[in-house]
Amino acid sequence: MSTRQLTLALSKGRIFEETMPLLQAAGITVTENPETSRKLILPTNDADLRVIIVRASDVPTYVEYGAADFGVAGKDVLLEHGGEGLYQPIDLNIAKCRMSVAVPADFDYASAVRQGARLRVATKYTQIARQHFASKGVHVDLIKLYGSMELAPLVGLSDAIVDLVSTGSTLRANRLVEVERIMDISSRLVVNKAALKLKRERLQPILDAFAKASNP
Ligand SMILES: Nc1ncnc2c1ncn2[C@@H]1O[C@H](COP(=O)(O)OP(=O)(O)OP(=O)(O)O)[C@@H](O)[C@H]1O
Ligand SMILES: O=P(O)(O)OC[C@H]1O[C@H](OP(=O)(O)OP(=O)(O)O)[C@H](O)[C@@H]1O
* Range 118-137 average pLDDT: 98
Q: Could you give the dihedral angle defined by the CA atoms of residues 200, 14, 152 and 145, in that order, rounded to the nearest 10 degrees? A: -30
* Range 126-140 average pLDDT: 97
* Range 49-74 average pLDDT: 98
Looking at residue 63, its pLDDT comes to 97
Q: Please name each of the domains of the chain with its CATH number.
A: 6-95+186-213 (3.40.190.10), 97-184 (3.40.190.10)
Residue 146 — pLDDT band, cuts 50, 70, 90?
very high
C-alpha–C-alpha distance, residues 188 and 77, integer Å: 10
Cα(14) to ligand 2 centroid in Å equals 11
Phi, psi of 92 (to 5 degrees): -85, -5
* Range 186-212 average pLDDT: 97
Reported as a single tens digit per residue, the pLDDT across 73-116 is 999 999 999 977 799 989 999 999 999 999 999 999 999 999 99
Which residues 6+ apart lie within 8 Å of 110 measured at CB? 179
* Range 102-131 average pLDDT: 97
Q: How many residues does the chain have?
A: 216
* Range 196-200 average pLDDT: 96
Residue 139 — pLDDT band, cuts 50, 70, 90?
very high
Average pLDDT, the chain: 96
Taking the CA of residue 14 as reference, the ligand 2 atom at the shortest distance is: 16
Looking at residue 3, its pLDDT comes to 80
Looking at residue 2, its pLDDT comes to 80
Cα(166) to ligand 2 centroid in Å equals 7
Among 164, 178, 185, name the best residue to mutate to test ligand 2's pocket (greatest count of ligand atoms within 8 A of Cβ): 164
Reported as a single tens digit per residue, the pLDDT across 11-39 is 999 999 999 999 999 999 999 999 999 99
* Range 29-52 average pLDDT: 95
The protein residue with its alpha carbon nearest to ligand 1, atom 24, reads 56
User: CA-CA distances (angstroms) from residue 153 to 123, 149, 171, 200?
Assistant: 11, 8, 11, 48
